[in-house]
Amino acid sequence: MCFTWNIINWVHLVDNTFFISVNNNVIINALTKLTQGYTMRNKHAAIIIVTLSLTVLLSIMLLRAYGLGTQDVFPREGEPKTTSLVTSTKNIYSNHYVQQTISHYSDFTYLLVPGGGQDKANVETPAIGTYAVQPGLKTTRTRNLRTGKIETCTGMTPQGVTPAGKYLLTTAYDHYKHHASVIYVQSLKIHRYLKTIVLKGHPHVGGIAYDKRHGQVLICGRRKGEASIIGITMKQIASYNEKAAKPIVYDQEAVLGTIGRASYVTVYRNQLYVGLFRRRGLGYVQKYHLEKDGGVSGKDISSEFWTTWRVYAEAMTNQNLLKQIQGLAIYKGYVVLSQSYGSRNSHIYLFRQQTGTYSEDKALMTITAPPHLEQITAYRGKLYMAFEGAAQPYRRKSQRKTDRVLTLDIKDVVDYYRSQEKRAQKTHKSVKKVKSHANAKR
């Protein structure tokens, strides 16, 4: 098999991608000699060797074209350069393009409600212009992780979304791992861009939740290889100096000892729910208690020299979920899950809140949605949805993309199922009463 060295001149590994240089003339000559030599002695051996050689050649060609792994997850090209020095705020796609994209999903489109402060009344098809444009898709002003200097990132990928008081907050991380993760701040009603907040390090920031009772937001993070939740007060967000772009100081950080990774998060009735995304197999969600001061309940591991309060938290409960869950929201006792991976269609599931496993066959309702759906958050009857398909690493690969934060009508859907349940309970009581009366006559 020494001819193999003539086929492949060199293999070099850079940033987890193989670059393979092939001398086509050497390959052709090697195949010709091998075919002639083995054809005279053993035709079967010649066929096997040629087949294997062609397989090697095809593999090399594919590696050169696509690199290794799943392209949707790890694109081969590097981060594009830019001369911009600010966070971009303009839409990438026209209103018409986004409207055409969502029109492929009839149930999804039917349940959409206007963004901002507009009401649903007298609106059949919400105008795309009412939705918030996702900031930072082209450029984001943040800091270089290695040098600490302020730079512009072109690979920011949206993850989390939540309304928080008068703000609409979305999170993003640098797909190429060169820059610090960020929070984009917009006004909730008119979606005016306000600032970009730089976070410490490169957390995936898969989820962000607003804790109104304690005036804080809780964000998925990671500390020394362990899952964590970081807390930032609304006062810190309001006073953050975007021009200085210093990493914001965390008010608290909870290390989660019973979950491998914090993928998404939500707050409901003073309980913190943190979920784990799994591409294959069941994911799960764990529940943690929030103390009176808003801290995640757990063992204090902070130091008198630290400005951030830290705890080691253990979950109160653990429940299995469907695979590939990206977000979880709870509204009036109902659980909503967003499921998405790669460029395939996303799905939104509605469940009655329960103690067992959230499996597909138990869903009350399933809605097919555009690809790349990430976190969902329920707020005042609306389901806010963030999408990552318009981010630079996925822009060319996804066929149906949206660069807006869309809102779905969750109130009417939940109210419908609640009325159905009440009707069923009333019917059950009536039947029970009739049977009891009939037995009494006997």
CATH of the domain at 343: 2.115.10
Task: Indicate the residue among 48, 66, 84 that finishes a domain.
Answer: 66
Residue type, 318: N
Q: Are residues 147 and 202 in the same domain?
A: yes
Nearest alpha carbon to residue 20 among 28, 30, 12, 29: 12
Q: Are residues 170 and 285 in the same domain?
A: yes
- Identify whether 384 is part of a domain: yes
Q: Are residues 46 and 102 in the same domain?
A: no
Letter string b/e over residues 226-260, b meaning 16 or more CB atoms within 10 A of that residue's CB: ebbbbbbbbebbeebeeeebeebebbbbbbbeebe
According to DSSP, residue 115 is labeled S
Question: Which single residue is written with the structure tokens 């397989």?
Answer: 55
Q: What pTM value is reported for the model?
A: 0.78
Q: Are residues 24 and 151 in the same domain?
A: no
- Up-side HSE of residue 148: CA atoms within 13 Å toward CB? 2
Does residue 220 contact residue 229 with C-beta atoms inside 8 Å? yes
Q: Are residues 146 and 292 in the same domain?
A: yes
Spell out the residues 6+ positions from residue 382 whose beta carbon is closer than 8 angstroms to its own. 113, 407, 408, 409, 410, 411
- Identify whether 168 is part of a domain: yes
Does residue 133 contact residue 191 with C-beta atoms inside 8 Å? yes
- Identify whether 315 is part of a domain: yes
Q: Are residues 137 and 61 in the same domain?
A: no
Measured CA to CA, the distance from residue 32 to residue 289 in angstroms comes to: 71
What pLDDT, on a 0 to 100 scale, did the predictor assign at position 9? 37
Range of the domain at 280: 95-409
What pLDDT, on a 0 to 100 scale, did the predictor assign at position 423? 74
- Identify whether 71 is part of a domain: no
Nearest alpha carbon to residue 325 among 277, 368, 392: 277
Does residue 356 contact residue 319 with C-beta atoms inside 8 Å? yes
| pLDDT by 10s per residue, the chain, length 442 | 443 433 333 333 333 333 334 445 555 565 555 555 544 556 666 677 777 777 777 766 655 544 443 333 333 357 899 999 999 999 999 999 999 999 999 999 999 999 875 655 445 568 999 999 999 999 999 999 999 999 999 999 999 999 999 999 999 999 999 999 999 999 999 999 999 999 999 999 999 999 999 999 999 998 888 899 999 999 999 999 999 999 999 999 999 988 889 999 999 999 999 999 999 999 999 999 999 999 998 888 766 545 566 788 888 889 999 999 999 999 999 999 999 999 999 999 999 999 889 999 999 999 999 999 999 999 999 999 999 999 999 998 888 999 999 999 999 999 989 888 777 666 555 555 555 655 665 6
In terms of residues, how long is the chain? 442
Q: Are residues 38 and 163 in the same domain?
A: no
Residue type, 137: L
Nearest alpha carbon to residue 386 among 397, 396, 401, 399: 401
- Identify whether 60 is part of a domain: yes
- Identify whether 439 is part of a domain: no
What pLDDT, on a 0 to 100 scale, did the predictor assign at position 54? 78
- Identify whether 367 is part of a domain: yes
Domain count along the chain: 2
Q: Are residues 61 and 109 in the same domain?
A: no
Spell out the residues 6+ positions from residue 332 whose beta carbon is closer than 8 angstroms to its own. 414, 418
Q: Rounded to 5 degrees, what are φ and ψ at 238?
A: -65, -35
Q: Are residues 154 and 287 in the same domain?
A: yes
Q: How many CB atoms lie within 10 A of CB 212?
A: 12
Q: Are residues 54 and 152 in the same domain?
A: no
Q: Are residues 8 and 112 in the same domain?
A: no
- Identify whether 430 is part of a domain: no
Q: Are residues 56 and 140 in the same domain?
A: no
Q: Rounded to 5 degrees, what are φ and ψ at 32?
A: -65, -50
Label residue 59 exposed, middle or buried (CB < 10 Å: 0-12, 13-18, 19+). exposed
Spell out the residues 6+ positions from residue 181 whose beta carbon is closer than 8 angstroms to its own. 142, 171, 172, 173, 174, 199, 201, 202, 203, 204, 205
